[in-house]
């Protein structure tokens, strides 16, 4: 034994095999990979549908002050909020499919892509509600909403993005105070959004045209699904490991995450289709509908 020890001491360090390895990040399961494939397929279809419909709406109704052009219509259509959500989901899922043994940087990127997908949905709620005041009309302006309401519909986007950034930074860098503040501000902001949608549905019922009222009700119907999706995000931040978007239970991810996002996206697409239909009526028909209100 002493002879063996003396021989071992005489060996150079680089000749001694080292078997210790850094613990790799957990690999996604087969079911998670299948879910990622489904996400790529579904959100590719969503991107295609929203791009085509949004392009037709932009070309027909064009609410911007700049001169209408095909290039601008393509730009606004491709980088709409629902299109941005679809691109985030496709990128995150493609990363999960391509990398079987993710490094820490890839793992962090997937967490960020999964988390920030909530902001495009809430931004789209803001944009749809703003556009509901112009339902059926063309050109810039012509909204039936007062200035203070338009300000509120624009303003709630800022705490949404700031709170999500704080929550994601706190989670990825293990800064609990940053994560707690971001999550708290996000919950308060979402509660404010629900109250704002309810207020518009009640207070502006007699002000909006028929299509505008329908849009507000569709946005209101979106809120429960967004609430479940946000609850899943918060449980992933503070709950048990089974709510983790990357390594948690597949059934929870599909039920509380993927399905809720798809339903909310479809309802918001329907909202835009209701507000700016393709076989549109004459521009003055929406004004005449105001006489049909109870």
pLDDT 10s digits, 186-220: 899 999 999 999 999 999 988 888 888 999 999 99
Other beta carbons within 10 Å of 291: 6
Following DSSP, what letter does each residue of 69-118 receive, concatenated?
-HHHHHHHHHTSHHHHHHHHHHHHHHHHHH-SS--HHHHHHHHHHHHTTH
CA distance 271 to 103: 40
Please enumerate in sequence order all residues whose Cβ is within 8 A of that of 116, keeping only pairs 6 or more positions apart, or say none: 88, 164, 165, 168
What confidence category does residue 291 fall into, taking pLDDT thresholds of 50, 70 and 90?
very low
- Please name each of the domains of the chain with its CATH number: 29-136+144-277 (1.20.1070)
User: At residue 123, does pLDDT exceed 80?
Assistant: yes
The mean-pLDDT minimum among 222-226, 239-243, 248-252, 265-269 falls in 239-243
Cα separation, 220 vs 35, in Å, equals 28
Give the per-residue pLDDT at 193: 94
Q: How far is it, in rounded angstroms, from Cα 170 to Cα 229?
A: 20
pLDDT at 286 over 70: no
**26 pLDDT tier (thresholds 50, 70, 90):** low
Hey, CA dihedral for 293, 267, 122, 139, is it positive or negative? negative
User: Token digits for 180?
Assistant: 């707690």
Q: How confident is the model at residue 137 (pLDDT cuts 50, 70, 90)?
A: low
Sign of CA dihedral 57, 58, 63, 69: negative
Are residues 167 and 245 in contact, defined by beta-carbon separation less than 8 angstroms? no
Mean pLDDT of 151-179: 85
pLDDT higher than threshold 70 for residue 3:
no
Find out whether 31 and 250 touch, Cβ atoms under 8 Å: yes
Model pLDDT, residue 283 = 44
């Amino acid at each position: 034994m002493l002879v063996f020890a003396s021989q071992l001491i005489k060996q150079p360090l680089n000749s001694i095999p080292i078997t210790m390895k850094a613990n790799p990040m957990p690999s996604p399961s087969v079911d998670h990979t299948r879910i990622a494939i489904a996400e790529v397929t579904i959100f590719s279809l969503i991107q295609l549908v929203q791009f085509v419909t949004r392009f037709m709406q932009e070309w027909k109704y064009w609410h911007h002050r700049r001169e209408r052009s095909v290039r601008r219509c393509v730009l606004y259509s491709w980088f709409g909020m629902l299109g941005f959500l679809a691109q985030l989901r496709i990128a995150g899922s493609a990363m999960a499919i391509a990398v079987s043994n993710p490094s820490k940087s890839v793992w962090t990127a997937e967490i960020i892509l999964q988390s920030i997908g909530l902001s495009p949905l809430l931004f789209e709620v803001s944009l749809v509600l703003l556009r509901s005041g112009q339902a059926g009309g063309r050109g810039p302006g012509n909204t039936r909403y007062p200035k203070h309401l338009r300000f509120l519909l624009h303003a709630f986007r800022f705490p949404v993005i700031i709170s999500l950034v704080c929550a994601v930074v706190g989670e990825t860098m293990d800064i609990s105070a940053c994560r707690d503040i971001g999550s708290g501000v996000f919950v308060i902001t979402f509660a404010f959004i629900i109250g704002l949608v309810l207020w518009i549905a009640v207070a502006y019922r007699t002000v909006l045209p028929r299509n505008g009222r329908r849009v507000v009700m569709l946005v209101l119907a979106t809120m429960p699904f967004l609430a479940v999706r946000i609850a899943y995000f918060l449980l992933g931040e503070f709950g048990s490991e089974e709510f983790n978007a990357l390594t948690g239970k597949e059934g929870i991810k599909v039920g509380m995450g993927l399905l809720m996002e798809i339903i909310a996206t479809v309802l918001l697409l329907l909202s835009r289709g209701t507000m700016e239909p393709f076989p549109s009526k004459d521009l003055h028909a929406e004004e005449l509908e105001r006489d049909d209100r109870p």
